[in-house]
Amino acid sequence: MLINRNIEKYLIQWKSSASSLPLILRGARQVGKTTLINEFGKSYDQYLYFNLEKTPDAGLIKQLPDVHTTVQLLFLSRGFQNNPNARTLIFFDEVQEQPQVIESLRYFKEDFPHIDIVVAGSLLEFGLNKISRVPVGRVEYAELHPFNFREFLLGRGNKAAIEILDTVPIQNEFVPVLYPMFHEFALIGGMPGIASAYFREKDLSRVRNLYAGIIESYKEDVEKYAQNDTQKKVIRHIMDTAPYEIDNRINLNHFGGSSFRTREVKEAMDALIKARLLELIYPTTQTQPPIVPDIKKHPRLHFLDVGLVNYQLGLHQELLTVKDLHQSSRGKLAQQVVHQEIKSQSHLPGIKRAFWVREERGTTSEVDMVLPFKNLLIPIEIKSGASGTLRSLHEFMDRCPHQFAVRVYGGELRIDELTSRNGKSYRLLNLPYFLSGWIEQYLGWFIN
């Protein structure tokens, strides 16, 4: 089943831009990179695909005598001519197996302007570590994420729901109907192969079996780059225990109740971060952009996909009856899926997200996320349900120079006029959590 991805708009712009450069496409294994580019390649006069995990394809470029000879060889192997009048896309998949290809990208735009190049790899960051010269300023980067809610609905063929979600502001009459659809997304997750199998078969036991396989393949993939047997053990331990730590401030020392020390956990965690399987989100103490994370403080952990979390926590049966994600496993899933939705809206890699903390005089306040919007830093509470004191949000608002805050929760769309503990008036946008992927559109509506 072919599902349109949000990143396709970016690819079309990239193709049509006179200033486009060879594209390095990042993303974890099985988020759909190969399917995406294979489909995108149909828009070209000529499309050449090379999987560098396969010996014949790897052999074509192993020696790289010079770029011109290599290009001739690539065209010859696929039965095409290097015609300057034909728009051509060359896609090198699993490029971490032959990382010298990345070094050669610096020459393509200059010598072959009619050829567009995309390289991708599930373990691309490990390949980048093997080369001496990354072509800085000669390449572009983008990142593909798992399905978000909008893409999930496209896969379900539910265009009517998408039209409602794309209309800002939403009518609250539609809200009760959309929550079960979002819970289904939170149940299945956004891994394209697994979601597509669910669309076809509607079989949760099949979904669980597929997740078991994908998690084991992730462990085996990353272990290939482990420096020793101890690091392999730590990688497996983190993969097994990380879902239980979502929404917690984590300590690397003895992570997940283990005997592993900080250095061992950090090295293994770095490998999993390079594989795009998890992310550490650090706190900031700032209330204005730019965000400067404090890496000396304990971070929070974010996983690649909510479906992976569900499988490892055994939540699939629980989610069949849940009416509010805040009720499920103490709100862990709400944190995971909202972060995942917001992250999926940008295809630029390396964007740092943060949460806000105030730690002074023996008291601690935390706001779940701060989001740059225009020249403002917007505080976002996620784990507060339909009720709550919002004490930390008041603390943030007393220190920031604007009057706008957001609560993502399991209720209807509404705007509240609130007063902080120090008497500052501010406005709170209460946003149904299924709209977290549309948060920038709602911030524009809310602030204006």
List of domains in the chain: 8-143 (3.40.50.300)
Nearest to 46 by CA among 7, 10, 91, 4: 91
- pLDDT for 329 beyond 60: no
| Burial environment of residue 50 by CB neighbours within 10 A (0 to 12, 13 to 18, 19 or more) | buried
Q: How far apart are the first and last CA of the chain?
A: 40
The Cα angle at residue 376 between residues 430 and 286, in degrees rounded to 5:
100
Q: What is the pLDDT of residues 180-233, one digit of tens each?
A: 999 999 989 999 999 999 999 888 888 888 998 999 998 888 888 788 899 999
How far apart are alpha carbons 332 and 190 in whole angstroms? 17
**What number of CA atoms fall less than 13 Å from residue 310's CA on the CB side?**
30
pLDDT surpasses 80 at 275: yes
pLDDT tens profile 99-112: 888 888 888 878 89
CB contact at 8 A, 415 and 390? no
The per-residue pLDDT for range 376-389, each reduced to its tens digit, is: 999 999 974 554 57
Distance of CA 137 to the CA centre of its chain: 24
Q: What is the DSSP letter of 294?
A: -
Task: Give the pLDDT confidence score for residue 98 in this predicted structure.
Answer: 86
Which helix (H) or strand (E) segment is 39 a member of?
A: helix 33-40
Q: Which residues, 6 or more positions from 209, have their beta carbon under 8 angstroms from its beta carbon?
A: none
pLDDT at site 319: 58
